[in-house]
Amino acid sequence: MEAARTIDVDVLVAGGGPAGSTISTLLARKGHKVTVLEKDTHPRFHIGESLLPCNMPIVEELGVMNELRAMGVVKLGADFSLATDETWRTYHFARSYNKTPPNAYEVKRSDFDELLFRNATKNGVDTREGVTLNSVTWDSEGKSRAEAVTASGEKLVFNAKYFVDASGRDTFLSKKFDMKVQNKNHASAAIFGHFRNVTRRPGADQGNISIYWFDHGWMWFIPLQDNIVSVGCVCWPEYLKTRTTSPEDFLWATLKLAPKAYERMAQAELISEVRATGNYSYTSDRMIGKGYIMIGDAFAFIDPVFSSGVYLAMNGAKAGAVVVDGVLADRRAEARLQKDFDERVRKGIENFSWFIYRFTSPAMRWIFKNPRNMFRLEEAIISMLAGDVFDSKDVLRRFAMLRAIYAVRVVANFKDQLKNKLTRKRNAGTVFRGVTTAEGQPDTVGFRGGANP
Ligand SMILES: Cc1cc2nc3c(=O)[nH]c(=O)nc-3n(C[C@H](O)[C@H](O)[C@H](O)COP(=O)(O)OP(=O)(O)OC[C@H]3O[C@@H](n4cnc5c(N)ncnc54)[C@H](O)[C@@H]3O)c2cc1C
Protein backbone atom coordinates (compact mmCIF):
# COMPACT_ATOMS: atom_id res chain seq x y z
CA MET A 1 0.00 0.00 0.00
CA GLU A 2 1.21 3.49 -0.85
CA ALA A 3 2.45 5.45 2.19
CA ALA A 4 0.71 8.72 3.04
CA ARG A 5 2.59 11.93 2.24
CA THR A 6 3.41 13.94 5.39
CA ILE A 7 3.29 17.74 5.42
CA ASP A 8 4.38 19.99 8.31
CA VAL A 9 2.50 23.26 8.82
CA ASP A 10 1.97 25.82 11.57
CA VAL A 11 -1.82 25.87 11.26
CA LEU A 12 -4.23 23.43 9.64
CA VAL A 13 -7.72 24.77 8.90
CA ALA A 14 -10.55 22.36 8.03
CA GLY A 15 -13.07 24.07 5.73
CA GLY A 16 -12.70 26.79 3.10
CA GLY A 17 -15.92 28.76 3.68
CA PRO A 18 -15.98 32.38 4.94
CA ALA A 19 -14.69 31.40 8.40
CA GLY A 20 -11.80 29.22 7.15
CA SER A 21 -10.70 31.60 4.39
CA THR A 22 -10.76 34.60 6.75
CA ILE A 23 -8.73 33.07 9.56
CA SER A 24 -6.18 31.54 7.20
CA THR A 25 -5.63 34.85 5.35
CA LEU A 26 -5.12 36.76 8.61
CA LEU A 27 -2.70 34.14 9.97
CA ALA A 28 -0.69 33.89 6.74
CA ARG A 29 -0.27 37.68 6.85
CA LYS A 30 1.28 37.24 10.30
CA GLY A 31 3.89 34.99 8.72
CA HIS A 32 2.48 31.59 9.69
CA LYS A 33 2.54 28.60 7.37
CA VAL A 34 -1.17 27.83 6.92
CA THR A 35 -2.98 25.10 4.99
CA VAL A 36 -6.75 25.08 4.36
CA LEU A 37 -8.51 21.89 3.34
CA GLU A 38 -11.77 22.26 1.42
CA LYS A 39 -13.57 19.05 0.51
CA ASP A 40 -15.50 20.77 -2.28
CA THR A 41 -14.22 22.77 -5.25
CA HIS A 42 -14.99 26.49 -5.54
CA PRO A 43 -17.26 27.87 -6.86
CA ARG A 44 -19.75 25.68 -4.95
CA PHE A 45 -23.37 26.38 -4.00
CA HIS A 46 -24.08 27.66 -0.50
CA ILE A 47 -27.18 29.24 0.96
CA GLY A 48 -26.84 32.47 3.01
CA GLU A 49 -26.69 35.37 0.59
CA SER A 50 -27.45 38.49 2.63
CA LEU A 51 -24.48 40.15 4.34
CA LEU A 52 -24.42 42.62 7.25
CA PRO A 53 -22.90 46.14 7.40
CA CYS A 54 -20.71 45.29 10.39
CA ASN A 55 -19.01 42.66 8.26
CA MET A 56 -17.82 45.29 5.77
CA PRO A 57 -14.73 46.35 7.78
CA ILE A 58 -13.57 42.71 7.80
CA VAL A 59 -14.03 42.51 4.02
CA GLU A 60 -12.01 45.76 3.74
CA GLU A 61 -9.29 44.32 5.95
CA LEU A 62 -9.08 41.23 3.76
CA GLY A 63 -8.61 43.59 0.78
CA VAL A 64 -11.54 42.40 -1.36
CA MET A 65 -14.04 45.25 -1.01
CA ASN A 66 -13.87 46.29 -4.67
CA GLU A 67 -14.50 42.73 -5.80
CA LEU A 68 -17.46 42.46 -3.40
CA ARG A 69 -18.91 45.72 -4.77
CA ALA A 70 -18.62 44.33 -8.30
CA MET A 71 -20.41 41.05 -7.52
CA GLY A 72 -23.02 42.29 -5.03
CA VAL A 73 -26.28 44.19 -4.90
CA VAL A 74 -26.28 47.17 -2.52
CA LYS A 75 -28.35 46.43 0.58
CA LEU A 76 -29.40 49.61 2.42
CA GLY A 77 -31.67 47.93 4.91
CA ALA A 78 -34.18 45.23 5.77
CA ASP A 79 -37.96 45.42 5.55
CA PHE A 80 -40.49 43.52 7.63
CA SER A 81 -44.24 42.95 7.19
CA LEU A 82 -47.02 40.48 7.66
CA ALA A 83 -47.70 38.64 4.42
CA THR A 84 -51.16 40.27 4.41
CA ASP A 85 -49.96 43.84 5.06
CA GLU A 86 -50.36 46.50 2.35
CA THR A 87 -47.19 48.26 3.52
CA TRP A 88 -43.88 47.27 5.00
CA ARG A 89 -41.52 48.79 7.56
CA THR A 90 -37.98 49.41 6.28
CA TYR A 91 -35.10 49.69 8.72
CA HIS A 92 -32.28 51.60 7.01
CA PHE A 93 -28.80 50.84 8.32
CA ALA A 94 -27.82 54.51 7.95
CA ARG A 95 -29.99 55.16 11.04
CA SER A 96 -28.19 52.73 13.32
CA TYR A 97 -27.28 53.93 16.80
CA ASN A 98 -23.53 54.05 16.25
CA LYS A 99 -23.65 54.92 12.56
CA THR A 100 -22.02 51.64 11.57
CA PRO A 101 -21.45 51.23 7.77
CA PRO A 102 -24.65 52.37 5.99
CA ASN A 103 -24.91 49.38 3.70
CA ALA A 104 -23.96 45.78 3.03
CA TYR A 105 -24.32 43.59 -0.08
CA GLU A 106 -26.44 40.65 -1.24
CA VAL A 107 -24.24 38.08 -2.98
CA LYS A 108 -24.29 34.72 -4.66
CA ARG A 109 -22.38 32.72 -2.08
CA SER A 110 -20.63 30.67 -4.73
CA ASP A 111 -18.98 33.93 -5.92
CA PHE A 112 -18.35 35.40 -2.48
CA ASP A 113 -16.90 32.24 -0.95
CA GLU A 114 -14.66 31.70 -3.97
CA LEU A 115 -13.45 35.30 -3.71
CA LEU A 116 -12.41 34.81 -0.07
CA PHE A 117 -10.80 31.43 -0.80
CA ARG A 118 -8.73 32.67 -3.79
CA ASN A 119 -7.76 35.73 -1.76
CA ALA A 120 -6.36 33.39 0.89
CA THR A 121 -4.19 31.80 -1.82
CA LYS A 122 -2.98 35.25 -2.89
CA ASN A 123 -2.03 35.95 0.70
CA GLY A 124 0.22 32.92 0.86
CA VAL A 125 -2.14 30.27 2.25
CA ASP A 126 -1.68 26.73 0.92
CA THR A 127 -5.32 26.26 -0.19
CA ARG A 128 -6.33 22.73 -1.19
CA GLU A 129 -9.67 21.93 -2.82
CA GLY A 130 -11.15 18.47 -3.16
CA VAL A 131 -9.34 17.41 0.03
CA THR A 132 -11.42 15.96 2.87
CA LEU A 133 -10.22 15.87 6.45
CA ASN A 134 -10.96 12.45 7.95
CA SER A 135 -9.41 12.44 11.40
CA VAL A 136 -7.35 14.47 13.84
CA THR A 137 -5.55 13.64 17.09
CA TRP A 138 -3.42 15.73 19.46
CA ASP A 139 -0.28 15.04 21.50
CA SER A 140 0.15 16.19 25.09
CA GLU A 141 1.55 19.55 23.94
CA GLY A 142 -1.51 20.28 21.78
CA LYS A 143 0.15 19.62 18.43
CA SER A 144 -2.08 17.82 15.97
CA ARG A 145 -1.81 15.03 13.42
CA ALA A 146 -4.55 15.04 10.80
CA GLU A 147 -5.35 12.56 8.06
CA ALA A 148 -6.97 13.70 4.84
CA VAL A 149 -7.66 12.31 1.41
CA THR A 150 -7.63 14.04 -1.97
CA ALA A 151 -10.33 13.64 -4.63
CA SER A 152 -7.99 11.28 -6.49
CA GLY A 153 -7.57 9.11 -3.40
CA GLU A 154 -4.11 10.24 -2.30
CA LYS A 155 -3.66 10.08 1.48
CA LEU A 156 -2.13 13.08 3.22
CA VAL A 157 -0.97 13.53 6.80
CA PHE A 158 -0.63 17.03 8.26
CA ASN A 159 1.42 17.74 11.37
CA ALA A 160 0.24 21.12 12.66
CA LYS A 161 1.11 23.24 15.67
CA TYR A 162 -2.53 24.37 15.81
CA PHE A 163 -5.83 23.13 14.42
CA VAL A 164 -8.87 25.20 13.42
CA ASP A 165 -12.24 23.59 12.75
CA ALA A 166 -14.10 25.75 10.21
CA SER A 167 -16.05 22.85 8.71
CA GLY A 168 -19.44 24.62 8.83
CA ARG A 169 -22.55 22.52 9.30
CA ASP A 170 -20.48 19.35 8.96
CA THR A 171 -19.37 20.23 12.52
CA PHE A 172 -16.28 18.03 12.33
CA LEU A 173 -15.06 18.28 15.94
CA SER A 174 -18.48 18.66 17.46
CA LYS A 175 -19.40 15.27 16.01
CA LYS A 176 -16.06 13.73 16.88
CA PHE A 177 -16.47 14.70 20.54
CA ASP A 178 -20.23 14.02 20.53
CA MET A 179 -21.02 17.53 21.72
CA LYS A 180 -23.50 18.82 19.15
CA VAL A 181 -26.73 19.96 20.76
CA GLN A 182 -29.86 20.70 18.79
CA ASN A 183 -31.87 23.72 19.88
CA LYS A 184 -35.05 21.82 20.68
CA ASN A 185 -37.07 25.01 21.12
CA HIS A 186 -36.26 26.16 17.68
CA ALA A 187 -37.07 23.35 15.33
CA SER A 188 -37.73 24.73 11.88
CA ALA A 189 -36.64 24.08 8.33
CA ALA A 190 -36.19 26.07 5.16
CA ILE A 191 -37.17 25.45 1.56
CA PHE A 192 -35.73 27.81 -1.07
CA GLY A 193 -34.80 28.54 -4.67
CA HIS A 194 -33.63 31.23 -7.11
CA PHE A 195 -36.16 33.02 -9.28
CA ARG A 196 -35.96 35.50 -12.14
CA ASN A 197 -38.34 38.48 -12.61
CA VAL A 198 -39.44 38.87 -9.00
CA THR A 199 -40.74 42.38 -8.20
CA ARG A 200 -38.21 44.29 -6.13
CA ARG A 201 -38.76 47.15 -3.71
CA PRO A 202 -38.79 50.54 -5.47
CA GLY A 203 -35.84 52.89 -6.00
CA ALA A 204 -32.74 52.72 -3.83
CA ASP A 205 -34.41 50.03 -1.69
CA GLN A 206 -34.40 47.53 -4.56
CA GLY A 207 -31.49 45.62 -2.98
CA ASN A 208 -32.98 45.31 0.51
CA ILE A 209 -33.85 41.98 2.05
CA SER A 210 -37.61 41.55 2.68
CA ILE A 211 -38.85 39.42 5.54
CA TYR A 212 -42.52 38.35 5.77
CA TRP A 213 -44.25 36.71 8.69
CA PHE A 214 -46.87 34.19 7.65
CA ASP A 215 -48.92 31.53 9.42
CA HIS A 216 -46.28 28.78 9.18
CA GLY A 217 -43.14 30.82 9.91
CA TRP A 218 -41.35 33.48 7.86
CA MET A 219 -40.06 34.10 4.31
CA TRP A 220 -37.06 35.87 2.80
CA PHE A 221 -36.63 37.72 -0.51
CA ILE A 222 -32.96 38.50 -1.25
CA PRO A 223 -32.26 40.41 -4.50
CA LEU A 224 -29.15 39.26 -6.36
CA GLN A 225 -27.48 40.37 -9.60
CA ASP A 226 -28.76 39.32 -13.07
CA ASN A 227 -32.40 39.94 -12.11
CA ILE A 228 -32.32 36.96 -9.73
CA VAL A 229 -33.98 36.89 -6.31
CA SER A 230 -33.35 34.22 -3.69
CA VAL A 231 -36.70 33.28 -2.13
CA GLY A 232 -37.01 31.01 0.88
CA CYS A 233 -39.58 29.94 3.47
CA VAL A 234 -38.59 28.98 7.00
CA CYS A 235 -41.43 26.90 8.40
CA TRP A 236 -42.58 24.95 11.40
CA PRO A 237 -41.95 21.22 10.93
CA GLU A 238 -45.64 20.32 11.36
CA TYR A 239 -46.34 22.36 8.22
CA LEU A 240 -43.42 20.93 6.23
CA LYS A 241 -44.49 17.42 7.08
CA THR A 242 -47.73 18.02 5.18
CA ARG A 243 -45.78 18.04 1.91
CA THR A 244 -47.08 15.51 -0.61
CA THR A 245 -45.95 17.24 -3.82
CA SER A 246 -42.55 17.91 -5.39
CA PRO A 247 -40.32 20.47 -3.60
CA GLU A 248 -40.96 22.94 -6.48
CA ASP A 249 -44.75 22.67 -6.20
CA PHE A 250 -44.55 22.82 -2.43
CA LEU A 251 -42.48 26.02 -2.52
CA TRP A 252 -44.95 27.66 -4.92
CA ALA A 253 -47.91 26.52 -2.80
CA THR A 254 -46.25 27.88 0.34
CA LEU A 255 -45.61 31.25 -1.30
CA LYS A 256 -49.27 31.38 -2.30
CA LEU A 257 -50.20 31.28 1.38
CA ALA A 258 -48.55 34.70 1.78
CA PRO A 259 -50.58 37.02 -0.48
CA LYS A 260 -48.32 40.09 -0.45
CA ALA A 261 -45.19 38.02 -1.02
CA TYR A 262 -46.93 36.04 -3.74
CA GLU A 263 -47.91 39.26 -5.55
CA ARG A 264 -44.20 39.86 -6.13
CA MET A 265 -43.96 36.46 -7.83
CA ALA A 266 -46.54 37.26 -10.55
CA GLN A 267 -43.91 37.22 -13.36
CA ALA A 268 -41.41 34.99 -11.57
CA GLU A 269 -39.68 32.01 -13.12
CA LEU A 270 -37.88 29.37 -11.07
CA ILE A 271 -34.32 29.01 -12.39
CA SER A 272 -32.71 26.69 -9.84
CA GLU A 273 -33.24 23.43 -8.08
CA VAL A 274 -35.43 23.80 -4.98
CA ARG A 275 -33.46 22.82 -1.90
CA ALA A 276 -34.37 22.23 1.73
CA THR A 277 -32.55 22.15 5.02
CA GLY A 278 -33.96 20.94 8.32
CA ASN A 279 -33.44 21.16 12.08
CA TYR A 280 -30.86 23.78 11.69
CA SER A 281 -30.30 25.53 15.00
CA TYR A 282 -27.59 23.92 17.09
CA THR A 283 -24.62 24.65 19.25
CA SER A 284 -21.71 22.68 20.72
CA ASP A 285 -20.77 22.13 24.33
CA ARG A 286 -17.48 23.96 23.72
CA MET A 287 -15.53 25.79 21.03
CA ILE A 288 -12.02 25.47 22.47
CA GLY A 289 -9.62 22.78 23.62
CA LYS A 290 -5.89 22.20 23.90
CA GLY A 291 -4.47 22.78 20.44
CA TYR A 292 -7.68 23.81 18.67
CA ILE A 293 -10.55 26.24 18.25
CA MET A 294 -13.86 25.95 16.38
CA ILE A 295 -15.20 28.90 14.37
CA GLY A 296 -18.36 29.81 12.44
CA ASP A 297 -21.02 27.16 11.89
CA ALA A 298 -18.56 24.51 13.09
CA PHE A 299 -19.41 25.74 16.59
CA ALA A 300 -23.00 26.98 16.34
CA PHE A 301 -25.74 27.87 13.95
CA ILE A 302 -28.69 30.15 14.71
CA ASP A 303 -31.79 30.78 12.63
CA PRO A 304 -30.85 33.06 9.72
CA VAL A 305 -33.71 35.59 10.02
CA PHE A 306 -31.30 38.47 10.67
CA SER A 307 -28.64 37.29 8.17
CA SER A 308 -26.10 36.91 10.96
CA GLY A 309 -24.28 33.70 9.88
CA VAL A 310 -21.52 34.94 7.58
CA TYR A 311 -20.78 37.90 9.85
CA LEU A 312 -20.58 35.70 12.95
CA ALA A 313 -18.33 33.29 11.02
CA MET A 314 -15.93 36.01 9.83
CA ASN A 315 -15.99 37.90 13.13
CA GLY A 316 -15.23 34.65 14.97
CA ALA A 317 -12.43 33.98 12.49
CA LYS A 318 -10.89 37.37 13.21
CA ALA A 319 -11.06 36.76 16.97
CA GLY A 320 -9.76 33.22 16.41
CA ALA A 321 -6.73 34.53 14.50
CA VAL A 322 -5.72 36.45 17.64
CA VAL A 323 -5.85 33.20 19.65
CA VAL A 324 -3.82 31.14 17.18
CA ASP A 325 -1.21 33.85 16.58
CA GLY A 326 -0.84 34.36 20.33
CA VAL A 327 -0.54 30.65 21.14
CA LEU A 328 2.05 30.11 18.40
CA ALA A 329 4.11 32.86 20.05
CA ASP A 330 3.63 31.44 23.56
CA ARG A 331 1.69 28.25 24.28
CA ARG A 332 1.27 29.24 27.92
CA ALA A 333 -1.10 32.03 26.81
CA GLU A 334 -3.59 29.55 25.37
CA ALA A 335 -6.08 29.36 28.26
CA ARG A 336 -6.30 33.16 28.63
CA LEU A 337 -6.63 33.81 24.88
CA GLN A 338 -9.20 31.07 24.43
CA LYS A 339 -11.29 32.39 27.33
CA ASP A 340 -11.52 35.88 25.76
CA PHE A 341 -12.39 34.33 22.40
CA ASP A 342 -15.05 32.08 23.92
CA GLU A 343 -16.70 34.98 25.76
CA ARG A 344 -16.76 37.21 22.68
CA VAL A 345 -18.23 34.58 20.37
CA ARG A 346 -20.93 33.63 22.88
CA LYS A 347 -21.85 37.27 23.49
CA GLY A 348 -22.55 37.87 19.78
CA ILE A 349 -24.60 34.70 19.43
CA GLU A 350 -26.59 35.39 22.61
CA ASN A 351 -27.45 38.96 21.66
CA PHE A 352 -28.72 37.94 18.23
CA SER A 353 -30.47 34.85 19.62
CA TRP A 354 -32.61 36.75 22.08
CA PHE A 355 -34.30 38.56 19.18
CA ILE A 356 -34.23 35.58 16.80
CA TYR A 357 -35.91 33.02 19.02
CA ARG A 358 -38.78 35.39 19.76
CA PHE A 359 -39.10 36.62 16.18
CA THR A 360 -42.32 34.78 15.32
CA SER A 361 -44.01 35.68 18.60
CA PRO A 362 -46.79 38.29 18.52
CA ALA A 363 -44.93 40.46 21.04
CA MET A 364 -41.77 40.69 18.90
CA ARG A 365 -43.86 41.23 15.78
CA TRP A 366 -45.48 44.17 17.52
CA ILE A 367 -42.07 45.64 18.42
CA PHE A 368 -40.83 45.34 14.82
CA LYS A 369 -44.00 46.76 13.32
CA ASN A 370 -44.35 49.67 15.76
CA PRO A 371 -40.85 50.97 16.30
CA ARG A 372 -40.61 54.06 18.47
CA ASN A 373 -37.37 55.92 18.78
CA MET A 374 -37.93 56.88 22.41
CA PHE A 375 -34.55 56.49 24.15
CA ARG A 376 -33.22 55.72 20.63
CA LEU A 377 -34.66 52.21 20.85
CA GLU A 378 -35.44 51.99 17.15
CA GLU A 379 -31.83 52.89 16.36
CA ALA A 380 -30.73 50.08 18.67
CA ILE A 381 -32.91 47.61 16.72
CA ILE A 382 -31.24 48.84 13.52
CA SER A 383 -27.85 48.37 15.17
CA MET A 384 -28.76 44.76 15.90
CA LEU A 385 -29.87 44.30 12.28
CA ALA A 386 -26.52 45.76 11.16
CA GLY A 387 -24.60 43.35 13.41
CA ASP A 388 -23.54 45.80 16.14
CA VAL A 389 -24.06 43.25 18.92
CA PHE A 390 -20.64 43.01 20.53
CA ASP A 391 -19.03 46.14 21.89
CA SER A 392 -21.37 49.09 22.23
CA LYS A 393 -22.51 49.44 25.86
CA ASP A 394 -25.15 51.98 24.76
CA VAL A 395 -26.68 49.53 22.30
CA LEU A 396 -26.53 46.65 24.77
CA ARG A 397 -28.27 48.80 27.41
CA ARG A 398 -31.08 49.43 24.92
CA PHE A 399 -31.38 45.70 24.23
CA ALA A 400 -32.13 45.37 27.96
CA MET A 401 -34.87 48.02 27.63
CA LEU A 402 -36.31 46.16 24.64
CA ARG A 403 -36.48 43.03 26.77
CA ALA A 404 -38.61 44.94 29.27
CA ILE A 405 -40.93 46.19 26.53
CA TYR A 406 -41.17 42.66 25.17
CA ALA A 407 -42.23 41.40 28.61
CA VAL A 408 -45.00 44.00 28.75
CA ARG A 409 -46.21 43.04 25.26
CA VAL A 410 -46.26 39.36 26.23
CA VAL A 411 -48.76 40.20 28.97
CA ALA A 412 -50.77 42.49 26.65
CA ASN A 413 -50.93 39.83 23.89
CA PHE A 414 -51.32 36.94 26.27
CA LYS A 415 -53.72 34.81 24.19
CA ASP A 416 -51.79 35.03 20.89
CA GLN A 417 -48.53 34.65 22.74
CA LEU A 418 -49.77 31.41 24.33
CA LYS A 419 -50.89 30.10 20.94
CA ASN A 420 -47.41 30.80 19.56
CA LYS A 421 -45.80 29.08 22.52
CA LEU A 422 -47.95 26.00 22.05
CA THR A 423 -47.01 25.85 18.35
CA ARG A 424 -43.34 25.97 19.30
CA LYS A 425 -43.89 23.30 21.94
CA ARG A 426 -45.66 20.99 19.49
CA ASN A 427 -42.74 21.39 17.07
CA ALA A 428 -39.98 21.16 19.65
CA GLY A 429 -37.34 18.56 18.93
CA THR A 430 -38.91 17.45 15.68
CA VAL A 431 -36.55 15.50 13.51
CA PHE A 432 -36.98 15.81 9.78
CA ARG A 433 -37.02 12.56 7.95
CA GLY A 434 -35.72 12.55 4.45
CA VAL A 435 -34.79 16.24 4.48
CA THR A 436 -31.29 17.00 3.29
CA THR A 437 -29.11 20.01 3.90
CA ALA A 438 -28.40 22.58 1.24
CA GLU A 439 -25.07 20.83 0.98
CA GLY A 440 -26.83 17.57 0.17
CA GLN A 441 -26.36 15.70 3.44
CA PRO A 442 -28.92 14.32 5.87
CA ASP A 443 -29.32 17.12 8.36
CA THR A 444 -29.95 15.21 11.53
CA VAL A 445 -26.72 13.25 11.57
CA GLY A 446 -24.45 14.02 14.45
CA PHE A 447 -26.81 15.28 17.12
CA ARG A 448 -25.86 14.03 20.53
CA GLY A 449 -27.83 11.09 21.69
CA GLY A 450 -29.14 9.92 18.37
CA ALA A 451 -28.28 8.88 14.89
CA ASN A 452 -30.14 9.90 11.82
CA PRO A 453 -33.50 8.16 11.90
C1 LIG B 1 -31.53 28.50 5.09
C2 LIG B 1 -30.33 29.31 5.46
C3 LIG B 1 -30.30 30.67 5.15
C4 LIG B 1 -29.18 31.45 5.49
N5 LIG B 1 -29.16 32.79 5.20
C6 LIG B 1 -28.10 33.55 5.56
C7 LIG B 1 -28.02 34.93 5.19
O8 LIG B 1 -28.90 35.47 4.51
N9 LIG B 1 -26.93 35.63 5.59
C10 LIG B 1 -25.91 35.06 6.32
O11 LIG B 1 -24.96 35.75 6.67
N12 LIG B 1 -25.95 33.75 6.64
C13 LIG B 1 -27.00 32.99 6.27
N14 LIG B 1 -27.00 31.66 6.57
C15 LIG B 1 -25.90 31.11 7.35
C16 LIG B 1 -24.57 31.05 6.61
O17 LIG B 1 -24.74 30.42 5.37
C18 LIG B 1 -23.51 30.33 7.45
O19 LIG B 1 -23.60 30.80 8.76
C20 LIG B 1 -22.08 30.53 6.90
O21 LIG B 1 -21.93 29.90 5.67
C22 LIG B 1 -21.04 29.99 7.88
O23 LIG B 1 -19.75 30.03 7.32
P24 LIG B 1 -18.67 28.89 7.70
O25 LIG B 1 -17.40 29.29 7.01
O26 LIG B 1 -18.66 28.70 9.16
O27 LIG B 1 -19.24 27.55 7.08
P28 LIG B 1 -19.46 27.14 5.56
O29 LIG B 1 -19.71 28.34 4.74
O30 LIG B 1 -20.49 26.08 5.54
O31 LIG B 1 -18.06 26.53 5.12
C32 LIG B 1 -17.61 25.30 5.64
C33 LIG B 1 -16.78 24.61 4.57
O34 LIG B 1 -16.14 23.47 5.14
C35 LIG B 1 -16.09 22.44 4.18
N36 LIG B 1 -15.91 21.17 4.90
C37 LIG B 1 -16.78 20.56 5.73
N38 LIG B 1 -16.25 19.42 6.23
C39 LIG B 1 -15.00 19.30 5.69
C40 LIG B 1 -13.97 18.31 5.81
N41 LIG B 1 -14.11 17.22 6.61
N42 LIG B 1 -12.83 18.49 5.12
C43 LIG B 1 -12.67 19.57 4.30
N44 LIG B 1 -13.64 20.53 4.14
C45 LIG B 1 -14.78 20.40 4.84
C46 LIG B 1 -17.43 22.57 3.46
O47 LIG B 1 -17.39 22.00 2.18
C48 LIG B 1 -17.62 24.09 3.42
O49 LIG B 1 -17.17 24.66 2.20
C50 LIG B 1 -28.08 30.86 6.18
C51 LIG B 1 -28.11 29.50 6.44
C52 LIG B 1 -29.22 28.72 6.10
C53 LIG B 1 -29.21 27.25 6.41
Fold of 5-74+108-183+281-350: FAD/NAD(P)-binding domain (3.50.50)
Of 109, 170, 209, the one to substitute when testing ligand 1's pocket (max ligand atoms within 8 A of C-beta) is 170
Closest atom of ligand 1 relative to the 40 alpha carbon? 47
For 367, left (φ over 0), alpha (ψ -120 to 50), or beta?
alpha
The model carries a pTM of 0.93
**CA 112 to ligand 1 centroid distance, Å:** 12
Out of 45-59, 155-169, 276-290, 431-445, which region has the weakest mean confidence (pLDDT)?
431-445
Closest atom of ligand 1 relative to the 280 alpha carbon? 53
Cis peptide before 304 (omega within 30 of 0): no
On the question of pLDDT at 423 being above 90, the answer is no
Query: Average pLDDT in the 112-120 region?
Result: 98
**CA 373 to ligand 1 centroid distance, Å:** 35
* Atom 18 (ligand 1) nearest CA: 309
Closest atom of ligand 1 relative to the 438 alpha carbon? 53
End-to-end CA distance of the chain: 36
Closest listed residue to residue 203, CA positions, set 74, 96, 102: 74
* Atom 49 (ligand 1) nearest CA: 17
Of 68, 110, 167, the one to substitute when testing ligand 1's pocket (max ligand atoms within 8 A of C-beta) is 167
Please tell me which of 59-73, 279-293, 406-420 the model is most confident about, judged by mean pLDDT.
59-73
Instruction: Please list, in sequence order, all residues whose beta carbon lies within 8 angstroms of the beta carbon of residue 35, skipping any fewer than 6 positions away.
Output: 7, 9, 11, 12, 13, 24, 125, 126, 127, 128, 158, 160
On the question of pLDDT at 81 being above 80, the answer is yes
Domain ranges of the chain: 5-74+108-183+281-350
* Atom 17 (ligand 1) nearest CA: 48
On the question of pLDDT at 451 being above 60, the answer is no
Per-residue pLDDT tens digits for 198-233: 999 999 999 999 999 999 999 999 999 999 999 999
On the question of pLDDT at 385 being above 60, the answer is yes
Q: How many residues does the chain have?
A: 453
Pocket, ligand 1, Cβ cutoff 6 A: 14-20, 37-40, 46-51, 132-133, 166-170, 172, 190, 232, 277, 280, 296-298, 304, 307, 309-311, 313, 438
**CA 57 to ligand 1 centroid distance, Å:** 20
On the question of pLDDT at 61 being above 50, the answer is yes
Instruction: Please list, in sequence order, all residues whose beta carbon lies within 8 angstroms of the beta carbon of residue 389, skipping any fewer than 6 positions away.
Output: 347, 348, 351, 352, 383, 395
On the question of pLDDT at 296 being above 80, the answer is yes
Per-residue pLDDT tens digits for 237-255: 888 888 889 999 999 999 9
On the question of pLDDT at 334 being above 70, the answer is yes
